[in-house]
Amino acid sequence: MNRRRFLTVAGAAVAAPAIIPSSALGRDGNVAPSERIVMGVVGWGMMGPGNTNAFLAQNDCQVVAACDLDSEHLKQAVGTVNNKYGNKDCKAYHDYRDMMARDDIDAVMLAVPDHCHALVAVEAAKRKKDIYGEKPLARTIAEQQAIVKAVRENGRIWQTGSWQRSVENFWKGAEIVRNGLIGKVKEVEVGLPSGHHDFAGTGDKRDVTEPPERLDYDFWIGPSKMMPYIEARVHMNWRWHYNTGGGQLLDWIGHHCDIAHWGLGFDDTGPYEIEGTGEFPPKDAVWNTCTKYRINLKYPKDVNMTIAGGHSDIRGGTKWIGTDGWVWVNRGGFDSSNQKFKEMSRLPDELRKVKLYKSNSHHRNFLDCVKSRKPTITPVETAHHSAVPGHLGLIAMLVERKIKWDADKEIIIGDDEASKLMSRSYRSPWELG
Ligand SMILES: NC(=O)c1ccc[n+]([C@@H]2O[C@H](COP(=O)([O-])OP(=O)(O)OC[C@H]3O[C@@H](n4cnc5c(N)ncnc54)[C@H](O)[C@@H]3O)[C@@H](O)[C@H]2O)c1
């Protein structure tokens, strides 16, 4: 019996309304504690606070635990939660496994660097938590497959941080395309950022130093190769080294390629041929991820996709080009060859033969699905398929040749060197699954 059911039954059996405050029963407009989704949050860096605050704003959700490997970040996380509820109930965790072991936690929010997505997410799924997990699904294709398997086998609800699907202009654009209103789609352009961005403001601090006491650096490196501590390679800027992240390409693939697939109806498939070229800093550079790239992908139904960063002919965002016109979407932007599409706030119902999933709030959608046990707007399989083209593009650039992908079997065909790059070895004692 799960915690909520237990409390419901126990509450009915005790039946002592006179001593139970109305707030506990939800009669003051609050949701009774027994009906709240109990959450734990992991990772308090750039994304963790925003996600957590979104959940704290929902009154049918109660955050009871926070976890981080940086004691300062952890203190901030716990403080934020306790401040919101006016109590001291939020429990602090250093090791996510201790938090996941709690039976009273129904769901978790994961906003940790890409290199530890798989370890944390698989543990959460095995511990029967529903999961709001960040994009891209993981650092490698094999790790993504492990997450998909664990989430499925354990019957978990998964929402990906690909929140653009819960925003009106992306939904409108994808519905126009899916309803054939720009004709047969031939080309899709996915424009992503290029270069590196110093999110943490570490500037020229590129020296090897001792890790600060507040951070458990060995744990932070986790399954990746141990590397000397350099501040510019840890918080936020981990995405610029392949040991921990995937550069701009993988940082953004789960946003604009995700939207491209949505419009195409390709949430459960992928490309079959991929080639690309990119500019890479030296392998031993502090930041070594690709700075400029152009990847061409062939998809079923004669669709060609270009994913590019740093090429001025590819506009940032997602652009579908069909036989009868085009539609482009980006954050805060919508454009089309058809003036009518620009003027309408949403597609009129008579044109919506295909109605795409509608969500007005990504975090709310997750909580609703935790309750209904229905799929979220970005379930785990969707996150997997949205990110695979980025992984394959990176692999094609690294082996410097065209690769072929079997999207059903999820294998690279006839290329051992490229196939090896679908996974990576784990530093002892870490093991996946
Ligand atoms: N959806 C979006 O729009 C969006 C935006 C930014 C980042 N992200 C994603 O969010 C995730 C986190 O990125 P970020 O920029 O917030 O990173 P960050 O480095 O700013 O924060 C990560 C936090 O996780 C902690 N951490 C690392 N390993 C941990 C572990 N094993 N257990 C517990 N805590 C651990 C770190 O100490 C740090 O506080 C990434 O997957 C990133 O791609 C999504």
Q: Give the DSSP letter string of 360-408.
A: S-HHHHHHHHHHH----SS-HHHHHHHHHHHHHHHHHHHHTS-EEEETT
Q: How far is the CA of 113 from the centre of ligand 1 (A)?
A: 4
Q: Is residue 403 part of a domain?
A: yes
Q: Is residue 254 part of a domain?
A: yes
Same domain, 103 and 88: yes
* Residues 145-170 pLDDT 10s: 999 999 999 999 999 999 999 999 99
- Residue 373's CB: how many other CB atoms inside 10 A? 10
Q: Is residue 363 part of a domain?
A: no
Q: How far is the CA of 415 from the centre of ligand 1 (A)?
A: 33
At residue 34, the pLDDT reads 81
Q: Is residue 428 part of a domain?
A: no
The answer to whether the CB of 93 is under 6 A from ligand 1 is no
Same domain, 154 and 185: no
Q: How many CA atoms lie within 13 A of 140 on its CB side?
A: 22
Q: Helices 117-126 and 141-153 meet at what angle, rounded to 10?
A: 10
| Number of domains within the chain | 2
At residue 3, the pLDDT reads 46
Same domain, 143 and 172: no
Nearest to 273 by CA among 75, 423, 407: 407
Same domain, 131 and 203: no
Q: Is residue 59 part of a domain?
A: yes
Same domain, 203 and 114: no
Q: Pick the atom of ligand 1 nearest to 200's CA.
A: 20
Same domain, 121 and 203: no
Residue in the structure block whose two tokens are 């993988």: 250
Structural domain that includes position 384 = 167-357+380-420
* Domain finish residue from 164, 196, 225: 164
The answer to whether the CB of 43 is under 6 A from ligand 1 is yes
Q: Pick the atom of ligand 1 nearest to 222's CA.
A: 31
Q: How far is the CA of 221 from the centre of ligand 1 (A)?
A: 13
Same domain, 236 and 105: no
Same domain, 275 and 214: yes
Residue 217, domain CATH: 3.30.360.10
Segments of the chain with pLDDT less than 70: 1-29
Asked if 187 and 207 count as a contact pair (C-beta separation under 8 A), the reply is no
Same domain, 147 and 272: no
Same domain, 194 and 142: no
At residue 2, the pLDDT reads 47
Angle subtended at Cα 30 by Cα 28 and Cα 32, rounded to the nearest 5 degrees: 105
Question: Which of 41, 42, 44, 46 has most ligand 1 atoms within 8 Å of its beta carbon, as the pocket-test mutant?
Answer: 46
Q: Is residue 430 part of a domain?
A: no
Q: Is residue 243 part of a domain?
A: yes
Give the contacts of 179 (CB within 8 A, at least 6 positions apart): 347, 351, 352, 353, 354
* Domain finish residue from 164, 184, 219: 164
The answer to whether the CB of 47 is under 6 A from ligand 1 is yes
The answer to whether the CB of 264 is under 6 A from ligand 1 is no
Residue 95, domain CATH: 3.40.50.720
Q: How far is the CA of 187 from the centre of ligand 1 (A)?
A: 33
Same domain, 114 and 175: no
* Residues 46-60 pLDDT 10s: 999 999 999 999 999
Q: Is residue 275 part of a domain?
A: yes
Q: How far apart are CA 270 and CA 353, in angstroms?
A: 24
Same domain, 172 and 130: no
* Domain finish residue from 164, 195, 226: 164
Question: Which of 134, 238, 258, 386 has most ligand 1 atoms within 8 Å of its beta carbon, as the pocket-test mutant?
Answer: 134
